[in-house]
Amino acid sequence: MSALMPTYAPSDLAFEKGEGVYLYTADGRRFLDFCAGIAVSCLGHAHPHMVKALKNQADKVWHVSNLYRSPGQERMAERLAEASFADRVFFCNSGAEALETALKIARKYQRDNGHPERFRVIGCENAFHGRTLATIAAAGQAKLLEGFEPVIDAFDQVAHGNLNEMRAAITDETAAILVEPVQGEGGLRPAPEGYLQGLRDIADEFGLLLMFDEVQCGMGRTGKLFAHEWDGVKPDVVSTAKGLGGGFPLGACLTTEAAAVLGVGNHGTTYGGNPLGMAVANAVFDVLMEDGFLEHVTKMGQALDLALQGLVAKYPDVFTQTRGQGLMRGIQLKESIINRDFKTELETEGLLVAPAGDNVIRLLPPLIIDDSHIAEAIAIFDTVAASHV
């Protein structure tokens, strides 16, 4: 018996160390990590540049709070702004907190601009935005909300990818649109072509903020720093997290100058952007911004999808289709095979993956993988798939 609150049902594996794309148990078993701590460990495990930055900072100062200036935050914010649509950045500790920041911005922005009656946020079905009371309400999924009623009545959901539904859902009370450019937990659904631009047009027409949840698809995961860049669309607010700290718990909310409405006393967090976290984030960013790094992600993403498509063709009774973008890939199983069971079977063969909604197996490898890792993963998939026919 454990004293832990039983909020998770972990597999029976405990890892002692990691190196690159591999994790090792104490008894020496090796696993190919195509889960990466759910899209977090973007540079793999024990990346020398990250380790050095963390150790270096650990010898100096860990935490001082935001009562004092933070050169690490200033530098990281400058670099994020330089590389993106954003002018301003707020650092926090998790994805949900980055989303909470965005949701507060939506209200404050409308209030500051003479529309206190606008407070509702329209999102998409099958979305995931975190586990706080506001973010479960924003996602609106029954399985997240059950037991935590009454639901905060400030959110509406429409079908992902449907601009007509989005437009029809807008009322005098709508403040913002909140969408994942590529839905992660919901089953690896990229936005259809033209969708994000359509959302931009709608937001402009009705005076709404366009907010993207790039907690999972941001920080290079799709081969651009942010997934919305593929569509050439400029949002007002973006929340990101997972890959930002490469394993150090970090989140960030990025905004344009016009949407940077949070001033002194409006928002805060004790740990957010502390020196340890910022040292790591700056080190991760060094690597993400290296010449050719994001192109490598795109190339590997295409190779992985091609290989997965090969599996769908070879095992039509096991798989139905592939989905996703960059190194955020999914392969959907036939209804007769449950993704969580299949995940366990892959694990037994030495491959770590994550499940996603809609009976999808999610592949979120470190962005540093090469062709040999893809071949190794596909061989394990092949073995497990063969056992199902």
Ligand X SMILES: *Cc1c(COP(=O)(O)O)cnc(C)c1O
Place of tokens 């394990």: 380
Nearest to 162 by CA among 120, 212, 124, 205: 124
Nearer CB in complex with ligand X: 208/253: 253
Query: How many amino acids of this chain bind ligand X (CB under 6 A)?
Result: 14
Give CA separation, 140 vs 126, 134, 158, 199, in Å: 8, 10, 10, 20
Question: CB 161 → ligand X: shortest distance, Å?
Answer: 16
How near is the Cβ of 354 to ligand X at its closest, in Å? 10
Report the DSSP beta bridge partners of residue 157.
123
* Chain residue at closest Cβ approach to ligand X: 95
For the bound state, the minimum distance from the C-beta of residue 96 to ligand X, rounded and expressed in Å, comes to: 3
Q: Which of 248, 249, 30, 213 is nearest to 106 (CA)?
A: 213
Figure out which of the listed residues 157, 216, 222, 255 binds ligand X, where binding follows CB under 6 A. 216
What is the smallest separation between the CB atom of 372 and ligand X, expressed in angstroms? 28
Length of the chain as a residue count: 389
Choose the stretch contacting ligand X; rule: CB under 6 A; options: 100-108, 180-188, 343-351, 363-371.
Answer: 180-188
Alpha-carbon distance 6 to 266, whole Å?
Answer: 35
Instruction: Pick the piece of the chain touching ligand X (CB under 6 A) from 160-168, 211-219, 223-231, 282-290.
Output: 211-219
Contact 106, 176 (CB under 8 A): yes
Site for ligand X in 75-134 (CB under 6 A): 94-96, 99, 128-130
Helix or strand or coil: residue 363? strand
Residue span 35-74 as binding mask against ligand X, x where in contact by CB under 6 A, dash where not: ----------------------------------------
Confirm or reject binding of residue 233 to ligand X (CB under 6 A).
no
For residues 47-86, b (16+ Cβ closer than 10 Å) or e, as one string? beebeebbeebeeeeeeeeeeeebebbeebbebbbeebbb
Binding status of residue 328 toward ligand X by CB under 6 A: no
Q: Which is nearer to ligand X, 84 or 126 (CB)?
A: 126
Rounded to a whole number of angstroms, the minimum distance from the CB of residue 265 to ligand X is 24
Contact 344, 11 (CB under 8 A): yes
Cis ω before 192 (30° cut-off from 0): no
List interacting residues with ligand X (CB under 6 A): 94-96, 99, 128-130, 180, 184-185, 213, 215-216, 241
